[in-house]
Structure 1
Amino acid sequence: MWYIWDLSILLSALSLVIMLFLIARRVLQERRGRAQIDQRRQLHTALIAFTENRDREALKAVLLAVPAGVAINAGFEFISLLRGEEYDDVLAAFNECGLPALVGSQLEKGNGAERIHAAEMLAALRSENAVASLLSALDRDRSREVRIAAAIALCDLGSLPPLDIALGKVGVVGQRSRRLIELFRRFPPARFEELRDHAARTDAVPFIRAAAIDALARAAGFHFADFFARATGDQSPEVAAAALRALGLTGHAEAPAILASAMANGDWDVRAAAADAAGRLGLAGLAAPLSALMDDEAWTVRYAAANALRSFGQPGERLLRDIAASEVSRSQRTASLILAEGPAA
């Protein structure tokens, strides 16, 4: 009996101690958070004053007075708003205070998110050792996402290795990261041909080829329209669909015939991309195959076809109304739904 009472008292005391510990921890966290907010405000004030008076010594005094983490994060946020001489002067002050070395250390020792952020900051700080640190991360970091971030930063600095080498270091097996598209979109015009060559390789990973096509369509435009037209017949449905979407952005003299053929493809992603491209290009002459796609087994294809018809204006809307007034079917339900959404934006 006494044993039970003693155990109950012990557990109660232990619960009280734990509760007090959690309260104290919460109070300390709130104080630390308020202190960081004050430090960030102090640094932002100093940075704003620096853009007016160019007093580098005063800025360096504030940078050295706040914790390194606050200086790195708040400073990086601020310099993203600057351009020209102000940007260069603030970077010079950061370099003199040793911030790039701290960011480089974070790239090596931080957690995954911190290492990705450090790679982005090194590209912005443009210090002497930035390229070496980023190349080391690209070569050795255990996280694929960090390696992609390092590749993006190197691309921004104009120091990305040849694409095949960079992709080999990032890793292509099972690669599905959407950040690869971001990397490819950062490519300078002088390296667009390198992207095109990789997208044309039938032995490369389809997702990466498709990402390269997407980047070329948005960055290079009509210059690669002939390549996109040829790629629509690729054996990989993922690559063919990407080429069709690209063709919808750039246009091509053979687009009507290419899209009509693609609408009969056995892969639903290809059919949907063809319907979307027809709508983007305003190819009202493809209304008949688009109407046929309204009865497609894949909802994505039906919706893309209906959207394309709606984008044709009044003729397309009349066709949708005729389909919506017909007997109940997949095409009738899709037409009714798209009409209920209202006119095309």
Structure 2
Amino acid sequence: MAAFIAGTSLVPFAKPGLSEMYDRMGSDALFLALNDAGLSLKHLDQAYVGYVYGDSTSGQRAVYRVGMTGIPIINVNNNCASGSTALFLARQAVESGVADCVLALGFEQMKPGALEQVFSDRPSPLEKFEMIADEAFFDKRDLPVTLKLFGGAGKAHMDLYGTKLETFARIRAKASDHAFNNPQALFRKKVSTEEVLHDQSIWPGVMTKMMACPPTCGASAAVVVSERFALKHGLDATVRIRSQAMVSDLQDTFEGPDMIKLVGAGLTELAAEKVYEQAGVAPEDIDVIELHDCFAQNELITYEALGLCSPGEGERLVEDGDNTYGGKFVTNPSGGLLSKGHPLGATGLAQCFELTQQLRGNAGARQVDNARFGLQHNLGLGSAAVVTLYERTR
């Protein structure tokens, strides 16, 4: 049974300390998604709620602000892929026939600064990842773990393929160009490649501060429905989830060590292959992409993992302009995590929101012409990679 996106929403992202509380952001996103679909809370059969930094049953707290109908509410924590994991579960419920109308909701209320381990009195799920990074880059042991991992992957790409720091700077500048046309992006100021290159260095020769996404607060949601439900209620069924796959770590994630695989490139590659095979499409059929650019380095690595180009050819794709308007693929028209912001639990559903607007033809100044297929990539270390293909049905 096919699954359709009947309604989406995005609560504008904000810097930590400047947002509403998580429950208010979550309930606002829920209300707006239902309103977009033309439905009410009573229509929902289930809800899956993604977040990372919050106590158990925070999902209930957010949903209850809109109303209490007794539906199952399942809280989801899959690190930065929590929002897309909620969508994965909602889509499964609809496609299996278990439910006809399911909510996927994501929110995050974050603190300033780099991500930190909250429960320091027990083993970290990223312990093995950090051990490998520390062995590879002993002199960078004091860096925050995500910077160490993704910066290390970027350095590995530079060492393997001769990729230039300027290329990562161009990716960050491209993100700002796209965000300029997105009224809901957090950072809309355009920055040049040179400004990114000469920004504060956080890993000399490997990364500047602008190449890392900022901590962000926000919320987003999607209402996923079956075709029969859409027909019965006269809903907008323009956007269909054509295929979707989620992959967790494989044994070779930790072999080598291979820093590029350590940050999820292998998971992404396998998930993308599954999605293309299920849908009967190829990478060159994709019109618009929202991918997980938590660091500019990871955007380039993801080009290759998604099959947009061969391994080592990511730099050429950037140099040829094939990652933006007028090229082969428009990547992150929203501005991506780098400019739109990255509230962990909301990110995957914010990507869904952007692609739904693109396929509906409602993206305004950032609209990709005649977009039929939209590809979403959302990654959480620990790990989970979710790749989703959306199709415009008319």
TM-score over 0.5 for the pair: no
TM range (shorter): under 0.3
Structure with higher helix content: 1
Answer 1 or 2: higher relative contact order, Cα 8 Å, separation at least 6. 2
Provide TM-score, normalisation by structure 1. 0.22
TM-score (normalised: structure 2): 0.20
Q: Which has the larger radius of gyration?
A: 1
